[in-house]
Amino acid sequence: MKNLIKSLLEEALNNLVENNTLPRDHGAQIHVEKTRQSAHGDLASNIALVLAKAVGKSPREIAGDIVGALPRSSDISRVELAGPGFINFFLSPSARWQQIEKIRAAKATYGTSNTGRGKKVMVEFVSANPTGPLHVGHGRGAAYGDALARVLKAAGYSVHSEYYVNDAGRQMDILALSVWVRYLELCGLEFSFPKECYQGDYIWDIAATLHRQEGGRLQHDLAILIQGLPNDPEARIDRMVEGAKNLLGEADYLLVFDLAKEIMVDLIRQDLNHFRVNYDQWFSERSLVDSGAIKHAIEVLEERGHLYQEGGATWFRSTAFGDEKDRVVLRANGSHTYFAADIAYHLNKVERGFEWLINIWGADHHGYVTRVKSAFQALGGGSDALDVLLVQFAVLYRGGEKVSMSTRSGDFVTLRALCKEVGEDAARFFYALRKPEQHMDFDLDLAKEQSNENPVYYVQYAHARICSVFRQMETKGIEMSDSQIDFSSLVEPEEMNLIDELSRYPEVVAKAAAGHEPHQLAYYLRETATCFHAFYNAHHFLNAEAAVREPRLALIDAVRQVIANGLGLLGVSAPEMM
């Protein structure tokens, strides 16, 4: 509808340019908006107000010219000039009626478009260290990233989703250490578990698997390991990791390390699976080392003259790209930094042919954004080909108290527990209702208690209600005719509102994709459900006289379709009964 009016206005402006009423280079963008009040028509444009400055005439005068130059359309019943210079459009009934059959014919494809033109985009999200189960903070990134990927796909992009597995860093060494120490406890050794290690119960589970698999073969005297440790906790850990490596030997250490990693990644994959998040690919950080990709990336930077040596380390001159300081890629001890791996990863993404990279990170990584963008540019990437979207923290409250979240202490609410408490649908919709940059207060008591008050049920209920009507239709032996439906009796305000709401859906999807804001969709669905429930309560379908029955049934059939499509993009189910 909006597009129709836009093209009418465009034609009018062209006409005015032709007869020299408007300058050729006015450069005004045509905006058409849904009006808030019915007195202002259905859709309105402020184009005359925007043009006023450039043309040097009063907005109302320009508006008059535009209205005069507007081509006729059977979809527009009336055009009015209003207020300071708004042009208000009133839609004809037939324009609305057409929308219903358009939706019913398009079915699951209604709302999809080709605005993305098949552009190859990679969405990377969650990518949490596999050192513990996912918590509700990760859930937010998962819900957002997955919904965004689905929305982009609907808008015609060629989308690839990926999870970057940080399986090469120090955190993973600590995980392996923690597992081995628990394993020693299972072997019967007595000592107090180091507080620097991961405390969560899942460490026990991995240790048990290790014990079942290897028996007592990996048992060593722990005393050597915990003797004469330094006071600094970080240094203590590094010393213990070193000790574990020495005692176990390279092969056995790797065995523990890999087992821990495999189990953790599997756990994370399962959690995300249940959350209806499925990746196209899980990409291993260590594969970048093994394939020589890191070496390759550093060579590329070297060739382009972006590196220098200082203090035994190799630095990337990121200040040349606006970073506040230069960053180390190779440490004095020869090992590469996490940053170096990330540079290689981004180079790899480009080499795989992706034209647009979207990274979704937790807000605590925002200090890292400039550095990665710098490296990306240094490697020859376009400045608009990489978007880093930050998801703010979800602060948890339980009983009015803030819940601390720390992987190390094992004190956190897992995504799995959340799903179990409130269900996947409610959890996904709850997340979807908040835009990512908004700091989020997550009241666990409320989320749990709300399970029947959650807005998701409001939307799902609309869908189930409609399905119920069609079930009733069958039991009552009523049939929809195959012939063309006469919509002329569809004139009630609730019906018009509902049709307008449905016809807005494709724009909402396109806007959600363009602005990476899937939350628009969640709000839209709630509003659509409101329009439907209002209609439902005011009018009858099956019990109405024949003339209005069929068009109304067709209308709610269209509503059902739009709600199902929209919920699908958010990873929420559309139940036929509830």
Contacting RNA within 16-35 (CB under 7 A): 29, 31, 35
Minimum Å distance from CB 392 to RNA? 5
Q: Determine which residue in the list 296, 368, 381, 387 makes contact with RNA, applying CB under 7 A.
A: 368
Site mask, RNA, residues 155-174, x = CB under 7 A? -----------x-xxxx---
Is residue 390 near RNA by the rule CB under 7 A? yes
Amino acid in position 438: Q
Restricted to residues 45-64, the positions that interact with RNA (CB under 7 A) are 46, 49-50, 52-53
Question: Which residue, 22, 31, 107, 114, is CA-closest to 66?
Answer: 22
Least Å distance between CB 435 and RNA? 4
**β-strand pairing of 394-398 with 401-402:** antiparallel
> According to CB under 7 A, which one of 2, 60, 398, 526 is a site residue for RNA?
526
The DSSP H or E segment spanning 401 is: strand 401-402
Cα 59 to chain centroid distance, Å, stands at 41
The answer to whether 282 and 265 have CB atoms below 8 angstroms apart is yes
Applying CB under 7 A, does 306 fall inside the site for RNA? no
Query: Which residue type occupies 241?
Result: V
Among 105, 254, 320, 363, binds RNA (CB under 7 A): 363
At closest approach, how far in Å is the CB of 208 from RNA?
26
Distance separating alpha carbons of residues 463 and 529, to the nearest angstrom: 8
Between 250 and 474, name the residue whose CB sits nearer to RNA. Answer: 474
Tokens representing residue 108 in the block: 């699951």
To the nearest whole angstrom, how small is the minimum distance from the Cβ of residue 464 to RNA? 4
Q: Which of 552, 496, 495, 565 is nearest to 524 (CA)?
A: 565
Q: Considering the complex, state which of residue 183 and residue 362 has its C-beta at the smaller distance from RNA.
A: 362
**144 belongs to the binding site for RNA (CB under 7 A):** no
Does 182 contact RNA by CB under 7 A?
A: no
Using CB under 7 A, which of the segments 12-20, 212-220, 324-332, 344-352 binds RNA? 324-332
Instruction: Give min distance, CB of 540 to RNA, in A.
Output: 4
Residue 84 binds RNA, judged by CB under 7 A = yes
Helices (H), 352-454: 369-378, 415-422, 424-432, 444-449
Interface residue with RNA, options 4, 17, 67, 82 (CB under 7 A): 82
Of the two residues 163 and 541, which places its CB atom closer to RNA in the complex? Answer: 541
Options 9, 13, 16, 40; binder of RNA; rule CB under 7 A: 40
233 binds RNA (CB under 7 A): no
Report the C-alpha gap between 204 and 227 in whole angstroms: 24
Candidates 505, 519, 528, 558; binder of RNA (CB under 7 A) is 519
The binder of RNA chosen from 11, 64, 73, 83 (CB under 7 A): 83
Smallest separation, CB 250 to RNA (Å): 19
Which of the 8 DSSP states describes residue 481?
Answer: -
**Using CB under 7 A, which residues numbered 536 to 555 contact RNA?**
536-544
Which range touches RNA (CB under 7 A), out of 4-12, 145-153, 291-299, 570-578? 570-578
Least Å from the CB of residue 106 to RNA: 25
Nearest residue to 409 via CA among 192, 211, 178: 178
Does 248 interact with RNA (rule: CB under 7 A)?
A: no
Binding positions for RNA, 113-132, rule CB under 7 A: 129
Closest CA to 85 of 42, 40, 23: 40
Stretch that binds RNA, among 20-28, 216-224, 239-247, 512-520 (CB under 7 A): 512-520
Non-local CB neighbours of 167 within 8 Å, separated by 6+ positions: 130, 261, 265, 284, 285, 286
CA dist 536 → 155, 245, 467, 492, 575 (Å): 31, 68, 13, 12, 18
Cα(532)–Cα(524) distance, integer angstroms: 12
Decide if residue 242 touches RNA (CB under 7 A): no
Tell the burial category of 150 from Cβ atoms under 10 Å away from its Cβ (0-12, 13-18, 19+).
buried
Q: Does 209 bind RNA (CB under 7 A)?
A: no
Q: How far is CA 182 from CA 170, 237, 390, in A?
A: 18, 15, 36
